[in-house]
Chains A and B, each alone.
Chain A
Amino acid sequence: MPEPKPVEAGAPARRVRLEPLMGTVITLDLRDAAVPTAAADSVFAWFHEVDAVFSTFRSDSEISRLSRGELSESQCRREVREVLGLCEEVRQLSGGSFDVRHGGTLDPSALVKGWSVERAAGLLTTAGARNFAINAGGDVLVRGEPVPGQPWRVGVRHPEVADRVAAVLGVRNLAVATSGAYERGRHIADPRRGGPASGPLSMTVVGPSLTYADAYATAAFVMGDDGAGWVGGIGGYEALAITARGTTVSTPGIAALIVP
């Protein structure tokens, strides 16, 4: 490959790795030249392990066996118990809008993706990485900056026009998660009412932890028009809802993150 001519002076090298995983694509964008590629290998090995343990599409996963009653929770590995504990915490906080046991099956996918990305970020940080982004099928966690002095620019997918973004957020050391009715293979049910959730077309949550941002986005999406306000009441998290009326509803802190 020919040596690329930098667009901006001092722009660091960029390493991108992506793999189809967890029913989506996970992308790592690593900007620290000094971090060995082995760190990226360990991150993707972790994601493969998570997929094997938590996949609801694999009948032999621990989650599937737990769901069928072949295992008890105490027989599951520590990570499974940790995730289920986090799910229960968000269920209570959301008044049941987030419920991974809804419908008689167990499906913690709405929290596992964000949780696994956060753990992956911890592996990278331990390996010395300071500037990177991970995108797990639209759930985004960024650390540091893509180039010195600039935030990561995270587009929020337009809920009705797939090749457009509705807004761009400039973020550093933050998580961005979006739940939407358009998501393939993910029809978000409302555990309180039974049927599919109505309300906004998409709900984006921004905050320090992707574990919680991911789960809060699902819960707030189910809550509908009340969802953004609910997120706003949780310290440190902001929400941006795009409604079917063609409007946006957001918490006050979102405006400061929107970049041109």
Chain B
Amino acid sequence: MPYRAAVTLAATAAALMLLLSFRTPPSTSLLPAVATPTPSASAATPAPSATPSGAPPSGGASPTPAATQTPTPTPSSTGLKNGTFTGSAVSNPFGNVQVQVVVAGGRITDVKALQYPTAHAQSAYISSIVVPELRTEVLQAQSARINLISGATYTSEGYAQSVQSALDQAHA
């Protein structure tokens, strides 16, 4: 009964909100992607103002490119103890998601998907694309500390909640 799949949990650790996207990961020549700009980056590259009169020129006085800096890793003051922690299995409309989080040196070093939707060919195909993306996101998000994401196509809260429950154990 996927439409009854409400999940309630209490946690105090940093939130990890992750994204699912049902499209092939892009290959090359994309807008540089970053987890978060560094403090110096946001100060050094303020977003240009839009001119109400019309389009910014494609050459010439072009707007500053989107931030291209890589995130600054935070020191390992995470309070996480080393080990492997298995998260709760969380239902979503396509099936269960369950992950295992590996912590070493106070940081998340790996996320393994123990369960993910494979019941239908389409679900399996989607999972094969997004699960590696979500793993990347978790590894980056531990420094990004984002509460929510605007513009999500489909938010993989199930994955995030399973990661969260694993982290709760790592904090215990």
Is the CB–CB distance between B8 and A16 below 8 Å?
yes
- Interface residues of chain B, those whose CB is within 8 Å of chain A, are 2-3, 5-15, 17-23, 25-26, 30-39, 41-42, 46-56, 58, 62-67, 78-79, 92-93, 130, 133-134, 136-137, 140, 144-155, 157, 161, 165, 168-169, 171-172
Q: In the complex, A130 Cα to B62 Cα: how many Å? A: 42
CB distance from B104 to the nearest CB of A (A): 18
Which of A5, A157, A177, A247 contacts B79 (CB under 8 A)?
Answer: A5
Does any Cβ of B come within 8 Å of A97's Cβ?
no
Given A161-B26, A162-B21, A19 contacting B148 (CB threshold 8 A): no
Q: In the complex, A156 Cα to B153 Cα: how many Å? A: 12
Is the CB–CB distance between B12 and A165 below 8 Å?
no
Does any Cβ of B come within 8 Å of A255's Cβ?
yes
In the complex, chain B residues whose CB is within 8 Å of the CB of A24: 154-155
Q: In the complex, A50 Cα to B157 Cα: how many Å? A: 22
Which of B47, B153, B168 contacts A255 (CB under 8 A)?
Answer: B47
In the complex, chain A residues whose CB is within 8 Å of the CB of B153: 137-138, 157, 162, 182-184
Is the CB–CB distance between A18 and B64 below 8 Å?
no
CB distance from B34 to the nearest CB of A (A): 7
8 Å CB contacts to B: which residues of A1-46? 1-7, 11-20, 24-25, 27, 29, 37, 40, 44
7 sample A-B contacts, Cβ–Cβ < 8 Å, listed by A number? A4-B13, A15-B8, A16-B9, A133-B147, A154-B146, A182-B153, A260-B37
CB < 8 Å A-B pair total: 267
Given A20-B92, A182-B153, A7 contacting B14 (CB threshold 8 A): yes
Does any Cβ of B come within 8 Å of A173's Cβ?
no
CB distance from A235 to the nearest CB of B (A): 14
Select from chain A the residue with minimum beta-carbon distance to B94.
A20
Q: In the complex, A11 Cα to B12 Cα: how many Å? A: 6
Interface size on A, residues (CB 8 A): 87
Which of B10, B42, B134 contacts A163 (CB under 8 A)?
Answer: B134
Given A153-B146, A167-B37, A182-B21, A160 contacting B30 (CB threshold 8 A): yes
Q: In the complex, A222 Cα to B10 Cα: how many Å? A: 40
Is the CB–CB distance between B165 and A1 below 8 Å?
yes
Is the CB–CB distance between A18 and B6 below 8 Å?
yes
